[in-house]
Amino acid sequence: MHIIIIEDEKPAARLLQRKVEKLGLKVHTLLHSVEEAINWFNVHPHPELIFLDIQLSDGLSFEIFEYFKQKDQPIKSAIIFTTAYDEYALKAFKLNSIDYLLKPIDEDELEEAISKFKTQHQKNTTPPFDIDAIKKMFIPPTEKDFKRRFSVKIGQQLKVILVEDIECIYSENKGTYLHTKENRSYLIDSTLEVLEQELNPKDFYRISRKYIVPLSSIKEIQVHSNSRLKIILPTYNEDEVIVARERVSDFKEWIG
């Protein structure tokens, strides 16, 4: 069985390779960019299985499939996606019987995905890869599509809060709250998972399970324990606003 991994982070690619080979399979090739993958597919037969990251260093991995589709040489390999996208955004994969693994990749989930692939492969029932349908799930919305305001209920009235006035968004006791620059918090009918998709990622970042913060409201960043970071906001002081350790690297890249 011919297996390749397309992943732009080389340490992550090698780690996944070790996990796959620990399950008794051989990974033949590691590719790290759209360009490298296109060049490889131009001269090699298509593998039975591809572990595919969504976002590569030089673009979305869908560009690889579009390139060969336009050449009337569609890639028909089975796909197991490896992605950091939230599970909320990936529910539609289930409908298409396409496997995916959320980073960091759990070994039990990896084994289950491979087992499912083997069963489909043996029965020759590997589902077709509908690039257009899947791509729609991941192409970021245009600037005009991001959420620009919230309406919150205060008694019998509605108050409009612009995203520019948000100091942070947090979850508490199964509720989600907007905390504004006026030092007030408002309960909203949403979840952080949904808001991650609705807010412009250039301006807002989910630093942990509990908090989403806008770049414009970060007053200070302090080194915290266990390789974490502590965010100081202008008015919010209900709890420590901590960047989760596994998100520190991405957070630093986000703030530039």
Domain CATH code at residue 155: 2.40.50.40
Same domain, 161 and 57: no
Task: Assign residue 132 the CATH number of its domain.
Answer: 3.40.50.2300
pTM > 0.85:
no
Q: Give the residue with greater pLDDT, 119 vs 37.
A: 37
Residue 96 has pLDDT above 60, yes or no: no
Q: What is the pLDDT, as a whole number, of residue 59? A: 84
**Residue 157 and residue 111 in one domain:** no
174-201: per-residue pLDDT in tens? 899 999 999 999 999 999 998 998 999 9
Q: Is the pLDDT of residue 129 over 70?
A: no
Question: Over the stretch 100-109, which tens digit does the pLDDT of each residue have?
Answer: 787 888 899 9
- Domain co-membership, 128 together with 174: no
Average pLDDT over residues 21-49: 94
Mean pLDDT confidence for 115-132: 73
Mean pLDDT in the chain? 86
Same domain, 25 and 121: yes
Q: How many domains does the chain have?
A: 2
Q: Whole domain around residue 200: which residue ranges?
A: 144-255
What is the per-residue pLDDT across 200-234, written as a single tens digit (0 to 9) for each?
Answer: 999 999 999 999 999 999 999 999 988 899 999 99
**Are residues 92 and 165 located together in one domain of the fold?**
no
DSSP lists the bridge partners of residue 65 as none
Q: 148 with 123, same domain?
A: no
Residue range 120-140: average pLDDT? 66
DSSP string for the chain: --EEEE-SSHHHHHHHHHHHHHTT--EEEEE-SHHHHHHHHHHSPPPSEEEEESEETTEETHHHHHHHHHTT-----EEEEEE-S-GGGGHHHHHTT-EEEESSPPHHHHHHHHHHHHHHHHTT-PPP--HHHHHHHHSPPPGGGS--EEEEEETTEEEEEEGGGEEEEEEETTEEEEEETTS-EEEES--HHHHHHHS-TTTEEE-SSSEEEEGGG--EEEE-STT-EEEE-SS--SS-EEE-GGGHHHHHHHH-
How far apart are the C-alpha atoms of 19 and 48, rounded to whole Å?
Answer: 18
Give mean pLDDT, residues 73-82: 86
Same domain, 27 and 100: yes
**% of residues, the chain, pLDDT over 70:** 87
